[in-house]
Structure formats: C-alpha cells, structure tokens
Amino acid sequence: MQIIERENLTALFESLKKHGYEIVGPTVRDEVVIYDTLNAVEDLPKGWTDEQEKGIYRLKKRDDEALFGYVLSPHTWKKFLYPPKVKLWEAKRQEKSFTITEPQGDGPKYAFLGVRACELAAIAMQDKIFLEGAHIDPIYKERREKSLIIAVNCGQAAKTCFCPSMNSGPKVTSGFDLALTEVCTPYHHYFVVETGTAKGKDVLKDLSLHPAEESAKESARQVVKNAEDQIERTLKTEGLKENLQANAEHPRWNDVADRCLSCANCTMVCPTCFCSTVEDVTDLTGDHAERWRLWDSCFTMDFSHIHGGNIRSSTKGRYRQWMTHKLASWVDQFGVSGCTGCGRCITWCPVGIDITEEVAVIQKQE
C-alpha cells in the first residue's frame, strides 16, 4: 500500500488524462452529488456530505474538506457502462431491401473515480448479465474493458445503507484497478492506495507516492470501520429466495401496492436493474432507420404488453415482479442476489417504501 498526498491528487488526474481516460466521478449539481465528467480535483464535492433516509436526500456541509465525504449518488456507473440511451445500429433503404451498419468501437474510455464497494458489486452483477452468458453485449463489453476503476472506500454510511447484509461492503475488496481510502484529519489529508491490477499500477507510474506506514494503514482501517459502525439497516437473506417465491399471494403485496406510485424511480437508481426497450425510428424521408436502446422499467404498464393486454396490469403485480426478481429469481438466473444493499431505492422512493421493511414483513409471517 502506498500513499498519495491530497495535494498530489492533481497528478493522478493528469496521469489519467495522459493515459487517454475521460475521468468520471462525483460532483455537486442541483443540490445532489452526481457522477459526471471531471476536469480537475476542484470538481469533486469537497466538504460535502449527504443525509439519506426513506424518501429523503439532503446535501450538508461537513466540518472538514474531505473530497469523498458523501455516501452515494443517485447516479450509478451503469449510466456509463450501459447507457440510458444508445444507438444500436442504423439502416438505409436500398430499393426493396436495406443495409444495416453498427457503430464500431468508438465508445469512450472512462476512468471511474469514487466507486464504492456496493457499486463494485453492482458492476460485477452486470458483468454476469452482459459478459458471462451465451450472448455478450458488445456496447457494455467495449466500455467495460476500456474502463479503469478507482474505488474509494466509504468513511461514513447513510441510514439507508445495508451493504453488509448483502455481503457487498462497506470495505472494497475486489473488482478494482485502484482502491483509495481517504484519510482527512485536521493535520494530514491523504489517500491510502491499494493497487488491484497492472492497469491500475500503470497510471500510478509517474506519481510521487510513498509507502504507507502502519499508522496510515490503521487510519485507513478506521475509516472503513467508521462506516461499518454507522450501518443500521439489515436485510435477512437466509431463505429469502424461497420465502419470496412461495409468497406470491402474500397480503403485503396489496399493502405495498397501495403506497407504490409505480413511478419507476427505484429501477432507475438501482445499480443492477438492467431492463431495456428498443425504439425504431426513421427520418422524414423514410429511407434512413435507426434502432435505439433505452432503459426501461418493469414498473411501466406496457412493459409486459402482449397482444390483447398487459400481463402485469396491477401495481401489485409490478412491485412483486421487481422485488422478487431482485431478491429471488436473480439468484436462479445469475447465481447471486440482484441487490447490493446500496439503499438507493429507499432514498429515492417518493413515498418512502423500504425494501428491507417489505422483506421483513413477508419473512415474519412465514
């Protein structure tokens, strides 16, 4: 492990740029931390933290100048790896036929800065979907392979966090190229760096680093422990899959359907939700057609449309689909749960539906 001093972080930015990366990371906009292109260290949310609860998100000033002193953004990295709107191909009419061309290998080369442990878990889950099945998604693959992941350990947790329950945090353990832990005391502000891959090592090459002494390592451990100690929410995963799959007619589904607005916020902020739809469009001449892929949500009515009607016409059916997919059938499909315990769906639900609470009720009556 090594140390980068806070004032040398600019050098990391320079090195990333020199290696051709577009740096994407946290920045404050419209009173939230979002993930967007960063030009300089100054773009980071210096001195900000966030307060999150059921249906609540507030930015607050910290009493220090930590750069990664917030917990989680409503944005997720899937926005960059699996874009919300992407052109799959375009076609040109030629007499009675047509030709189709695919966009080739011009996807961006991202360096993701500030990836949390739960987000690494989410990326690993999406890898299973898009890279490890019988078919591979070329857009995801290209972006994923080109990208560099710089994880940053959590130093605090939100009230909505429950990553330990899902075994995905708060400590960053794998799936990164570089992992940082930010130590910010009144006397010394630095980052403890762990190298995960050769690709990660490469961008550190020209930086002035010094080896982390035991006291720095201990401080870094304390940072993560602090986050861990703050986590209150839990979700009991033992027997959960079977429990949910056996309880399709549990009265709680009606109860949650009464509160759920079917707004799809939870699926948009979820770092693992992967559903999409396609739109076929033409220009005014009708000779040029395109197919676009867009994020979709199982909460929309026409998601389940077949001729004659919609299969999941009730909110009950749609909420149940989302939750049982996330926590139960995901396990059948990909061998792991689809939930990382990031708590975004709790924070960003406009009516404060809490997945951990819904699960607990269904588990209790079993």
Sole binder of another protein in the list 77, 191, 274, 299 (CB under 8 A): 274
Binding mask 111-130 for another protein (x = CB under 8 A): ------------------xx
C-beta closer to another protein: residue 124 or 275: 275
Binding residue for another protein (CB under 8 A) from 15, 226, 245, 254? 245
The reply on whether position 351 binds another protein by CB under 8 A is no
Cα–Cα distance measured from residue 286 to residue 172, given in angstroms and rounded to the nearest whole number: 51
Q: Tell whether residue 284 is a contact of another protein (CB under 8 A).
A: no
Applying CB under 8 A, among 10, 167, 222, 333 the residue interacting with another protein is 333
CA–CA distance, 120 with 163 (Å, rounded to integer): 12
CA 253 → CA 27, 270, 324, distances in Å? 38, 20, 11
CB nearer to another protein: pick between 176 and 303: 303
The residue (of 211 and 286) whose beta carbon lies closer to another protein is: 286
Among 29, 135, 187, 284, indicate the residue that binds another protein (CB under 8 A). Answer: 135
Minimum CB distance to another protein, residue 325 (Å)? 7
Measured CA distances, 76 to 73, 158, 200, 208, 305 (Å): 7, 16, 21, 31, 28
Instruction: Give the Å distances, CA to CA, from 262 to 32, 281, 303, 319.
Output: 23, 27, 12, 8
Q: How many CB atoms lie within 10 A of CB 20?
A: 11
Q: Which is nearer to another protein, 49 or 300 (CB)?
A: 300
Report long-range pairs for 192-201 (Cβ below 8 Å, ≥24 apart): 192/1, 192/2, 192/3, 192/216, 192/217, 192/219, 192/220, 193/1, 193/2, 193/3, 193/4, 194/1, 195/2, 196/149, 199/148, 200/148, 200/150, 200/176
User: Would you give the binding string for another protein spanning residues 82-111, x where CB under 8 A is met?
Assistant: ------xx-x-x--xxxxx-x---------
Q: Which is nearer to another protein, 14 or 296 (CB)?
A: 296
What secondary structure letter does DSSP report for 213?
P
Indicate whether 332 belongs to the interface with another protein (CB under 8 A). Answer: yes
| CB of 311 vs another protein, minimal distance in Å | 6
Binding flag, residue 78, another protein (CB under 8 A): no
Residues 299-328 contacting another protein, CB under 8 A: 302-308, 311-314, 316-317, 320-321, 324-325, 328
Cβ closest to another protein, residue 261 vs residue 278: 278
In angstroms, give the least distance from the CB of 137 to another protein. Answer: 6
DSSP string covering 34-73: EEEE-SSGGGS-TTEEEEEETTEEEEEE-SS--SS-S---
Distance CA 245, CA 216 (A): 47
Is the Cβ–Cβ distance between 41 and 9 less than 8 Å?
A: yes
- Footprint of another protein (CB under 8 A): 88-89, 91, 93, 96-100, 102, 129-130, 133-135, 137, 245, 248-249, 274-278, 280-282, 286, 289, 296, 298, 302-308, 311-314, 316-317, 320-321, 324-325, 328-329, 332-333
